[in-house]
Structure 1
Amino acid sequence: MDIPIEKKRFDAKKIGYIIGGLAILALIIFVLISSTGNSKLNVEKERISIANATQGVFQENIPVNGIVLPITTIYLDALEGGRVEEKFVEDGAIMKKGDPILRLSNTDLELSLVNQETQVYNLLTQMQISQNAARQNTINRVNQFTDVENSLIEAKRVYDLNKKLYDKDAVARQDLIQAENNYNYQKERMALSKQILAQDSIAVKIESGQAQNSYARTQNALELMRRKVADLVVRAPVDGQLTSLDAEIGQSKNKGERLGQIDVLSGFKVRADIDEHYISRIYTGQKGSFNYNGERYTLEIKKVYTQVTNGRFQVDMVFEKVAEGIRRGQTLQIRLALSDEKQALLIPKGGFFQKTGGNWIFKVSEDGNTAYRVDITLGSQNTEYYEVLSGLEPGDKVITSSYDNYGDVQELVLKE
C-alpha cells in the first residue's frame, strides 16, 4: 500500500529567496535611516583636542616679527668723490665724534683749492696796492688843502692890512682892489678844496668797503674750498659703532655714494613688518609685548611708515624697558595689541577653523561620550584665543583640533 509523502512548505530555494529579500529590506531600511538621521563617526579621544569655553580678559592682537636696531643710525656718504687712499679703522670699530675713518684723494679738488688760494692772495695784494694809492692820494689832497688854507690866511692878512692903510691913504686903491680880489679867489679855492677833500673821503670809504666785501667773498669761497678738501677725510659725525663700511684701498667713490653707517649705541628700537590689511588700525602709541629670558617686555610704536612694499609696511617701536643682553640684529616675536582689554567668552585657537571658517564647531555632550555640531559666531581673535559672540556658554567643551578627516559627519562618538 502506497504511503502518501507530505510536501514540504519551504524548500532550500525558497528559504534562500526569503533571506535575500530580508537582507535587501534591511539595507534599504539602513539607508533610509542613514539619510534621515545624523551620520556618526567613531573618534578616539586621545587623537583630538578638547577645550573649555571660558569667560576671561580678551585683547585683540596680531603676531609680528621685529628686528632689533640701534636707536639712531647715521649714514656716511661721500661728500666729495675720490679714490680711497687710506683706511684708519675697520668695520665694527667703536668711534668717537670726529675720529677719522678713511681718506680720499681728489686731484682736481686739491688743484682748485690751490687756485682759489692764489686768487685770494692776488686780491689781497691788489687791495693793499689800492689802499696805499688811496692813502697817498689822500695825503696829497690834505697837503693841497693845507697850502690853500695857508694862501687864504695870507690873502686875508694882506687884504685887512691894505684896507687899514687905504683908510689912512697909505696905499693906492689899486693895491686894495688887488688884495681883495686875491682874498676872494683864495676863499673860493678853499671851498673847492673842502669839497674835493670830502668827496675823496667818501670815495675812499666806498672803494675800501667794496674791496673788503670782495675780499670777504673770496675768503668765504676759499674756506668753502678748504672744507671740501677737508671732507676728503671722512670722520665719525657722532659717537657710536661703525657698521657696513664699504670701502677698499684704491676703490673710487662717487660724490654722494654710501660708505657705511654709524650706529648710536645709547639704546635700541625694533622695526617690525606688518601685513597691509592692518594699516588702518596701526598708529603711534600702540603697544606690543614679547617674552625674553622668561620675562615679558613692552614696546610702543613711535613711527609708522605708510609706504607698502610687497603687501607689508613697517613701524618703529621703542622699549619701555630694554631687555638685558639684547643685541642688534635679533629677531623678536611680538604680540601687537589692536584693542583694549575686555571681558569675553573665549575658546582656544585650533585647526577646526580651517574647516568651519568659525561658523560651527563640535560641542561635547555632558556625558563626554559624543560631540555634535552647533552653530557659533566668532568675533575678534588674538594669538591664543577666538572671541565667541554666540552659540556657546561658559563651561561648554568643544573640539578644537582639525576636522579634515570628518567629512560631513554630524556627530562624533568619542571612544577611550
Structure 2
Amino acid sequence: MDRELTSDERKKAMRKKMLPYIIGVAVVVVIIAILMITLRSSVNRDDLLIATVDTGTIETTVTGSGSVVPAFEEIINSPINSRIVEVYCKAGDSVDVGTPLLRLDLQSTETELNKLKDQIEMKRYELEQQKVGNDTRISDLTMQVKVKEMTVNRLEVELRNERYLDSLGSGTGDRVRQAELAYNTGKLELEQMRQQLANEHKVTDAGLSVKNLDINIASKNLGEMSRTLDDAQIRAPRRATLTFINDQIGQKISEGEKIAIISDLSHFKVDGELADSYGDRIRVGSKAVVRVGRDRLTGMVSNVTPLSRNGVISFSVRLDDEANARLRSGLKTDVYIMCDVMEDVKRIKNGTFYTGPGLYELFVFDSDDELVRRSVRLGESNFEYVEVINGLEPGDRVVISDMKRFNTNTSLKVK
C-alpha cells in the first residue's frame, strides 16, 4: 500500500537526482579553471627577450626626438613687392648656379630705376650750372678786389703828396686829414671785399660738396635698386635641390616673402627636441647617438636654443656620417645625448619596458623553467644599458620584453 512521502524524503530524492548534474558542472568548471590557469601561467621561451645582469660602464643619456633635415638649406625671399609672372622649375628639380627659378613682374621697379637715373642726370646738370654761377660770382668779386686795390694805392699816393706839400708849407692840415681818412676808408673797404671773396669761396665749396653728396647718395640708391632689380631675376644661388617653390602664377608677393627653398639633399643633420627638465644636461659639444631604424649614427650637438617653448628645448646634431644612405629629409629619429659616465655599475640591456628611473616589477628566472616576479629599482640609462640600483645581482636573467598581460601573475612557467 502506497504512502505519502514526507518533505525530507522528497528533498533527499531530489538531491539524488540533481547530484550527477552538479558533479558534472563542477568537473567542467574545474577543468576550465585548470586550463585557464595553465594557459595564463605559462609563456613560450621563444617569445621572451632575456637579458643577463652584468657589471660595466654606462654612459648615461637623455632621450629626445629628432627629425632629419638638410645640412644646408637656403630660403629665397622676394626682394620687391610684385607678382609671379612665370615659373620655370618645380619642387624636386636639381638646379645649378644661376638656373632661373621664376620671373616676377618688374615693370614698376624698372620705371623707378629709370626715374632715379633721370634724377641723377638732372642733379649733375644742376651741379654744372651751380659751378658756372659760382665761378661768375667769384670772378666778379676778384675783379672788384683788384679795382679796390688800385683805388687804395691811388689814395696812398695822394696821402703822401699832401703830406709832402704840407711839409713845404703849400698844403694844409685839413687836406692831409681828408687824404688820411680817404686812404683808411679805402683800406677797410678793401679788407671787407677780400673777406667777402674768401667767404664766397667757402660758401661755393660747401654748396658744391652738398650737391656732390646728394649725387653720391642718389647713385648709391641707384646701385641698390639695380642690385634689387637683378635679385628680382630669381635664380638659384648655388647647386642644390629645389625643395619648395611658389608656383601660383599671378599671385601677389610682398617684399621679404618666401618664394623658394633650395637644399643640399646629399648631406644631412638632425634637429631635435628635449624636455626642458633636462636642459642642464645638454650643451654644445655633447656626444650624441641618432637611431635610424636599427642603425645608430654618431654625432655631436652643434647648437642648443637658450629658450624653452611649450616645455621643450631645441637643439641640432651634426652627424659624423652626414651622407649616410639611410638618411632622408623629414625622417623621424630617436636622439640620445651623452651626459655622464658611471663606472663599475650593475646593468641590464635597455628595452621597451624602461620608461625612466624608478621601481619596476620584472620577471626573473628562478630556475630554468620558472619565472618569478621581483621588485627592481632602476636608475640612469643610455640607449644600450639601464643601471640596476637594487633587486638584481650579476648573473640574474631578466625578461625585458613586454609582460603587461601577466600583471596579475607572481610566477610563470616557461615552455
Change over 3 Å in CA distance of 1:197–1:337 after alignment to 2: closer
Residue pair 1:162, 1:179 contacting (<8 A) in 2 also: yes
1:203-235 per-residue CA deviation (whole Å, 9 max, x = no partner) reads 323333333344444444444444444443235
Residue pair 1:244, 1:260 contacting (<8 A) in 2 also: yes
1:38-53 superposed matches below 5 A? 43=42, 45-46=44-45, 49=48, 50-53=50-53
Match of 1:272 in 2: 272
Q: Is the partner of 1:393 in helix, strand or coil? A: coil
Residue pair 1:149, 1:190 contacting (<8 A) in 2 also: yes
Match of 1:151 in 2: 151
Match of 1:117 in 2: 117
Within the alignment, does 1:346 sit opposite 2:367 as a pair? no
1:54-112 per-residue CA deviation (whole Å, 9 max, x = no partner) reads 2233334466554333333221111211123455665534443x766444224443333
Change over 3 Å in CA distance of 1:164–1:399 after alignment to 2: closer
1:323-342 superposed matches below 5 A? 323-325=323-325, 329=329, 331=331, 333-342=333-342
Residue pair 2:66, 2:335 contacting (<8 A) in 1 also: no
Identity %: 23
TM-score by length of 2: 0.72
Change over 3 Å in CA distance of 1:241–1:400 after alignment to 2: closer
Match of 1:7 in 2: none
Q: CA RMSD in A?
A: 4.3
Match of 2:304 in 1: 304
Q: State the distance in 2 between where 1:256 and 1:246 align.
A: 14
Q: Is the partner of 1:340 in helix, strand or coil? A: strand
1:51-66 superposed matches below 5 A? 51-61=51-61, 66=66
Amino acid at match of 1:347: I
1:331-383 per-residue CA deviation (whole Å, 9 max, x = no partner) reads 374451454343332334567779xx9543333334x2433333322223444
Match of 1:364 in 2: 365
Q: State the distance in 2 between where 1:136 and 1:299 align.
A: 77
Residue pair 1:351, 1:403 contacting (<8 A) in 2 also: no
Quote the offset at 1:139 in angstroms.
Answer: 0.6
Quote the offset at 1:151 in angstroms.
Answer: 2.2
Q: State the distance in 2 between where 1:171 and 1:51 align.
A: 139
Quote the offset at 1:251 in angstroms.
Answer: 3.8
Change over 3 Å in CA distance of 1:100–1:164 after alignment to 2: farther
Residue pair 2:53, 2:348 contacting (<8 A) in 1 also: yes
Q: State the distance in 2 between where 1:341 and 1:181 align.
A: 105
Q: State the distance in 2 between where 1:47 and 1:325 align.
A: 33
1:94-105 superposed matches below 5 A? 94-96=95-97, 101-105=101-105
Residue pair 1:297, 1:323 contacting (<8 A) in 2 also: no
Match of 1:232 in 2: 232
What is the number of equivalent residue pairs in this alignment? 381
Structure 1: gaps (5+ residues):
1-12, 32-38
Match of 2:255 in 1: 255
Residue pair 1:80, 1:231 contacting (<8 A) in 2 also: no
Amino acid at match of 1:285: G
Match of 1:379 in 2: 379
Q: State the distance in 1 between where 2:341 and 2:163 align.
A: 118
Residue pair 2:270, 2:318 contacting (<8 A) in 1 also: yes
Quote the offset at 1:248 in angstroms.
Answer: 5.1
Match of 2:200 in 1: 200
Match of 1:191 in 2: 191
Within the alignment, does 1:70 sit opposite 2:67 as a pair? no
Match of 1:5 in 2: none
Quote the offset at 1:140 in angstroms.
Answer: 0.9
Residue pair 2:62, 2:278 contacting (<8 A) in 1 also: no
Structure with bigger gyration radius:
1
Q: State the distance in 2 between where 1:157 and 1:203 align.
A: 35
Match of 2:138 in 1: 138
Quote the offset at 1:402 in angstroms.
Answer: 4.5
Amino acid at match of 2:52: N
Change over 3 Å in CA distance of 1:307–1:93 after alignment to 2: farther
Moved more, 202-211 or 287-296: 287-296
Residue pair 2:288, 2:338 contacting (<8 A) in 1 also: no
Match of 2:126 in 1: 126
TM-score by length of 1: 0.72
Q: State the distance in 2 between where 1:198 and 1:254 align.
A: 54
Q: Is the partner of 1:196 in helix, strand or coil? A: helix
Amino acid at match of 2:132: N
Amino acid at match of 2:366: S
Amino acid at match of 1:46: R
Q: State the distance in 1 between where 2:193 and 2:132 align.
A: 22
Amino acid at match of 2:197: L
Amino acid at match of 1:56: G
Within the alignment, does 1:397 sit opposite 2:397 as a pair? yes
Quote the offset at 1:247 in angstroms.
Answer: 3.6
Amino acid at match of 2:379: G
Match of 1:10 in 2: none
Amino acid at match of 1:391: G
Residue pair 1:48, 1:399 contacting (<8 A) in 2 also: no
Match of 1:315 in 2: 315
Residue pair 2:291, 2:335 contacting (<8 A) in 1 also: no
